[in-house]
Amino acid sequence: MVPIPRPFRLDIPDSAIADLKTRLALTRLPDQAPGEPWATGTDVEYLGDLLAYWQSGFDWRQAEARLNAFPQFTVPLHGIDLHYLHVQGQGPAPMPLLLMHGWPGSVFEFLDVIPRLTDPARFGGDPADAFTVVAPSLPGYGLSFRPGQPRFAVEAIADCLAHLMDGVLGYGRFGAQGGDWGGFTASRLGVAHPEKLIGIHLNLLSLRPDQPPPENPTEEERRYLEEVAQWMREETGYQSIQGTRPQTLAFALNDSPAGLAAWIVEKFRAWSDCDGDVESVHPRNRLLANIALYWFTGSIGASFWPYYARMHGAWPIPEGRTVDVPLGYAAFPKEIRRPPRSIAERTYTDIRRWTPMERGGHFAAMEQPAALAAEIAAFFRPLRGEVA
């Protein structure tokens, strides 16, 4: 029996908003550690200002209305109620596209890029490039979370979303796009469900950080290996705690909006192409909409689970396997890892498009929605005849 989707509209109770404001008013900030601001984590002065705005200046209802402007649904699938946006393309033959976020993101990442994908003519593009976009809240994230529900590793997320696209929505063949865990999930789909995929487009490649280096690395390969080593030394503390003691961390972040904001905003600053000024790229209303969604849904603990599963199980692309479906890659200059094509080709065997981007970082759909949409369209354009 095919699960039946139900229309969905987000409406956080007034009492939950009032409770949040009370908690924000009672925030007890730590002192600032010695050294440069942000060097040891989130800057106290910045966060204090952000929290004051969250309490008295941020309009959640406006953010909520912006999300509710898109058609949304939930469907009982794989033991959870899966939430997703389903936006029909405006063109002669829209291609179905599965659009996937990562951590610490949400469907709020996609509100600027979806209209460019579904209605390119509105932005001066070709209606023949239109996509019908399905953008789920990943299982365990945001509106795809309820307390006590099953936890999902990347492998289970991929199976669930393949079922959504084919078994529920009837898209027997579709494209997939993502970064962060969304990129890992797209890559896993390419291994586990290649027959369903027209192609995958990524802005983060799923390359093992511990894979053996080339015997005689080129200068570009050497640069990448040094970047990975630096990343592993200085930037992976969050992975270690989220991957080993996610439950303990969840107590703090699920109870303190200040703690939650500090944990998330530090990543948006560090991983974006913002030259240290996070709000030059991510206006605070947009930052807080994403953070508030984690807060109101209580999903931060469940969102850690892919890290735990990855550290206690196999890599999502099994040892000895490759991703053989057509691949497009947008190489944003401030992405957290920027491999050379020669290393990527060891995992992805059918790279059709590899584009160095001018600006942008880890949150590409938020930072550079026009550039990302154009790149997605360009990659899938020659593959559109393969939609069956």
30-75: per-residue pLDDT in tens?
Answer: 999 999 999 999 999 999 999 999 999 999 999 999 999 999 999 9
Is 84 in the active site? Answer: no
Among residues 81, 112, 308, 350, which one is catalytic?
Answer: 308
Strand duo 197-202 + 95-100: pairing: unpaired
Residue 7, CA distances (Å) to 85, 125, 219 in order: 10, 30, 53
Selected catalytic residue, list 101, 201, 282, 362: 362
- How many CA within 13 A on the CB side of residue 192? 19
Q: How confident is the model at residue 81 (pLDDT cuts 50, 70, 90)?
A: very high
Average pLDDT, the chain: 96
180 given a catalytic annotation: yes
In the structure, what pLDDT confidence band is assigned to residue 1 with cuts at 50, 70 and 90? confident
Q: What is the pLDDT of residues 333-353, one digit of tens each?
A: 999 999 999 999 999 999 999
pLDDT at 215: 85
**pLDDT for 273:** 98
Is residue 387 over pLDDT 70?
no
Active-site residue, from 43, 129, 159, 180: 180
Q: How much is the pLDDT for 388?
A: 56
Instruction: Read off the pLDDT of each residue in 306-310 and give the average, rounded to a whole number.
Output: 96
pLDDT single digits (tens) 115-157: 999 999 999 999 999 999 999 999 999 999 999 999 999 999 9
Per-residue pLDDT at 210: 77
Cα–Cα distance for residue pair 293/382, rounded to 1 Å: 37
Q: Give the pLDDT of residue 281.
A: 97
Residue 76 has pLDDT above 90, yes or no: yes
User: What's the mean pLDDT in 232-236?
Assistant: 91
What residue spans define the domains of the chain?
6-386
Active site (annotated) includes residue 238: no
% of the chain surpassing 90 pLDDT: 94
Q: Which CATH class is domain 6-386?
A: alpha beta
Exposed/middle/buried for residue 28 (C-beta within 10 Å: 0-12, 13-18, 19+):
exposed
* Model pLDDT, residue 62: 98
